[in-house]
Amino acid sequence: MEQIHIRLFQPQDLSSVIHINRTCLPENYPGLFFMSLYESFPKAFIVAEDIETNTLIGYVMGRVERGFSSLKGYKLTKKGHIVSIAIIEKYRRKGIATRLLEEALEGFKEYGASESFLEVRESNIEAVNLYQKIGYVEKKVLPGYYRDGEDALLFTCPL
């Protein structure tokens, strides 16, 4: 998809990203939350833009957290947490989420992270397949993680 441009989030993208988030996901956040991720980890907040229509059609955002490694025993390490990702429905299955995630993972590396992790609803087959294709593996189940009671799967991936 040549008309899809992948680039860093800019503050003027905020309302479009909030719109995509509310259209695509039940987990929604106030504007300040998006901006605080942008201010702390701008290299891990990536958007996809349709340059023919000049509209944003997807985003991924993340943050780097310090904690015990999921891959190397009890070593303290920096881990890139994928907080949210979504692509507008009509643009799905064209490799755009894959491109966004690859950019965000590069951003995590630039912040010194050596692994990445994320949570996903166990019923979200599209997202589970996406993460597995990129190299994430299921680490454990987080029972009742979501507000409606659904379990999450915790996925991790070396960087």
Ligand X SMILES: CC(C)(COP(=O)(O)OP(=O)(O)OC[C@H]1O[C@@H](n2cnc3c(N)ncnc32)[C@H](O)[C@@H]1OP(=O)(O)O)[C@@H](O)C(=O)NCCC(=O)NCCS
Write a three-state SS string for the chain: CCCEEEEECCHHHHHHHHHHHHHHCCCCCCHHHHHHHHHHCHHHCEEEEECCCCEEEEEEEEEEEEEECCCCCCCEEEEEEEEEEEECHHHCCCCHHHHHHHHHHHHHHHCCCCEEEEEEECCCHHHHHHHHHHCCEEEEEECCCCCCCCCEEEEEEEC
Q: Which is nearer to ligand X, 24 or 61 (CB)?
A: 24
Which residues lie near ligand X (CB under 6 A)?
A: 24-25, 85-87, 92-98, 120, 124-127, 129-130, 133
The distance of closest approach from Cβ of residue 67 to ligand X in the complex, given in angstroms and rounded to an integer, is 19
Q: Which is nearer to ligand X, 94 or 109 (CB)?
A: 94
The distance of closest approach from Cβ of residue 30 to ligand X in the complex, given in angstroms and rounded to an integer, is 19
Q: Which is nearer to ligand X, 75 or 93 (CB)?
A: 93
The distance of closest approach from Cβ of residue 101 to ligand X in the complex, given in angstroms and rounded to an integer, is 8
The distance of closest approach from Cβ of residue 83 to ligand X in the complex, given in angstroms and rounded to an integer, is 9
Q: Which is nearer to ligand X, 64 or 85 (CB)?
A: 85
